[in-house]
Amino acid sequence: MIDKHGSETTSSVQLRQLKPKLSSRFKEFFIRHLQVFFYSLGLLSRAPFATLLTASALGIALALPAGLYVILDHASQLSGDINSINQISLFMKKGTSEKKLQQIQKELNAYPEIAQVQHINREAALAEFQQNSGFGNALKALKNNPLPDLLIVNPSMTHNDPEQINQLLTRLKQIKQVDLVQLDIQWLQRLYAILHIGQRGILIIGSLLALAVLLIVGNTIRLAIENRRSEIVVMKLIGATNSFIRRPFLYTGFWYGLLGSIIAILLVNLSLIIINDPLTHLSSLYESELFSLGLMGINTSLSLIASGCLLGLFGARLAVGKHLKEIEPK
């Protein structure tokens, strides 16, 4: 800032001097953390077998809830595609005109809870039944078509839980031209109950195994602190702060979490590949291609890596905070 006499004010001079100081401090802070980041990795690389054992234990602990989550995420495919389960069949009354059917179909498509409405006319339904039932010649003897027009209603994915489906069924039954509304709502309720139990089970198992990860990392860091006890005492004697001493151990926990997450991803994907062949064979027996398991998606993998790294950091932080206070120069 410049005053009315054209000279620079004191505040602007101080601000201009402060900027390079902040920049140099941030640069120094970043360099120190980067050095410790690779230094901790170097310490782990000196004992590759012990590091691999610890990371594998973490990977197995993380793989179980992650694998169950992926399987539950594919539960809609394994149960025969949730959209086909939710299909509602509307059998129309005889004598309903084509114009009225088109009007009803248009009105239903405007419902926010309905994704699509498909019209199957009587003639097409009879032709399909003759082809698939094995009674083609017998049906040809009928003078009149006994089948009604049919509207297939597909609920939207945002309105597919049993309570919302029940509300939709109530609305559809109020249409005068509808003779019968058909949906196996009990099967849908059972399916969602099973999925809900699966979600709760994964939450419980995941919480217990997350605690196991914390204990494994914490115990590993505790042993590392004990092995470097004399070094820590010397560092404290020469004036090193607790944050400086703590930093390598925190990054060690981070590396364990990262390596464990990578191993967990490999284990889960390998398990899915092994399971996928029997599921594909089962799918072929049911003349369906719905029974298949894909590999872990990018978002799921990144979430697993982030969870592993955070658990590693947190476990290391708990261990260092407790045991570092017990080490004091005498």
Residues with Cβ < 8 Å from 113, sequence gap 6 or more? 155, 156, 158, 159, 164, 167, 168
List of domains in the chain:
35-79+191-323 (no CATH), 87-182 (3.30.70.3040)
Sign of torsion over alpha carbons 208, 210, 216, 219: negative
> Residue type at 206?
G
- The encoded tokens of residue 175 equal 């249409």
At 80 the pLDDT is 44
> Residue type at 294?
G
Q: How far is CA 251 from CA 36, 81, 256, 300, in A?
A: 7, 44, 9, 23
At 281 the pLDDT is 72
pLDDT tens-place values along the chain, 330 residues long: 444 554 455 555 454 555 555 566 777 777 877 888 888 888 888 888 989 999 999 999 999 998 888 887 776 555 445 555 567 888 888 777 888 888 888 888 888 888 888 887 777 766 666 665 555 555 565 566 667 778 888 887 776 667 777 888 888 888 888 888 877 666 666 777 787 888 888 889 889 988 999 999 989 988 888 888 888 888 888 887 778 888 888 999 999 999 999 999 999 999 888 887 777 776 666 555 555 667 788 888 999 999 999 999 999 998 888 877 777 776
For 9, phi and psi rounded to 5 degrees? -75, 165
Q: How far is CA 140 from CA 94, 126, 129, 301, in A?
A: 20, 10, 11, 58
At 264 the pLDDT is 94
At 308 the pLDDT is 92
At 2 the pLDDT is 47
Distance CA 62, CA 209 (A): 7
Distance CA 72, CA 194 (A): 10
At 279 the pLDDT is 72
For 156, phi and psi rounded to 5 degrees? -75, 160
**E strand segments, the chain:** 88-92, 114-120, 150-155, 178-182
Distance CA 122, CA 130 (A): 12
At 206 the pLDDT is 87
At 57 the pLDDT is 92
With 0.75 as the threshold, say if the pTM is over it. Answer: no
* Letter string b/e over residues 73-92, b meaning 16 or more CB atoms within 10 A of that residue's CB: ebebbbbeebeebbbbebeb
